[in-house]
Amino acid sequence: MFDFTGKTVLITGASGTLGATLSTRFAQAGANTVVAARTRFDEVAAETGGRNLGVRLDVTSESDWAEAITRAEEHFGPLDILINNAAYLHVGTTESIPVDEFRRVVDTNLTGALLGIRAAAPSMRKAGGGVVVNVNSIAGLAAAPGLVAYSSSKWALRGLMRAAAKELARDGIRVNAVHPDIIDTPLAYGPDGNELVPVDNFAIPRRATPNEIADFIVFAASDQARFATGSEIVADGGFGLGAIA
């Protein structure tokens, strides 16, 4: 069991399935949990138990980030951990995706993480150091046809993670990433209700549960991972091995 007693963690996209799972897991481990989302943040905060705070956060808004960090510090003190979990997905190919949707995906998945690290770093310096965990994807490790915006944003997120890790290392701030396989959440399905990426031919032929992926993220945020920065943890169910005939 990981112990985050006295640590303050902010989780973006906390109203989603994985975000809500992470909020509960960190609260159960003793953390001061800041539940950040555009909607349902107070509802999820009430469900997490422990010491928690719900805040409205659109990750693409610099002013929202400033307000979220200020409120976290007022309630709990400096921020120790940031989980960049918020994500947006739009199905579309290189030729078919509307440009405004491409930009929305990149703004949420990439620019949102940049703004989060930028807003959190000064608070973490006050705490004497900290941890950022970016929730990436197997779409950031392999071609994802039909998901060109999502894949582009996740590949770019890897570059952001590495640059930030090198820039912030001497401040005691670690920046790492977790690459999940397909998680059993609404993001795994298209508008028609069909799964976006069939998993029958994966080495482990099923979607991951939110709790399984939360295990990796909680570890990456913990002191047990204290010697890792700029690192990528792949939790892909064997996706990278290729299809099993």
Active site residues: 150
> Could you tell me the strand order of the sheet in which 8-11 lies?
52-56, 32-37, 8-11, 81-84, 130-135, 173-180, 232-235
**E strand intervals along the chain:** 8-11, 32-37, 52-56, 81-84, 130-135, 173-180, 232-235
Structure tokens at 211: 């709790």
Beta carbons of 84 and 135 less than 8 angstroms apart? yes
Q: Going by C-beta distance under 8 Å and a sequence separation of 6 or more, which residues neighbour residue 78? A: 8, 123, 124, 126, 127
Q: Going by C-beta distance under 8 Å and a sequence separation of 6 or more, which residues neighbour residue 15? A: 35, 37, 38, 39, 40, 41, 43, 44
Beta carbons of 206 and 181 less than 8 angstroms apart? no
Length of the chain: 245
Q: How many CB atoms lie within 10 A of CB 98?
A: 11
CA distance 180 to 8: 24
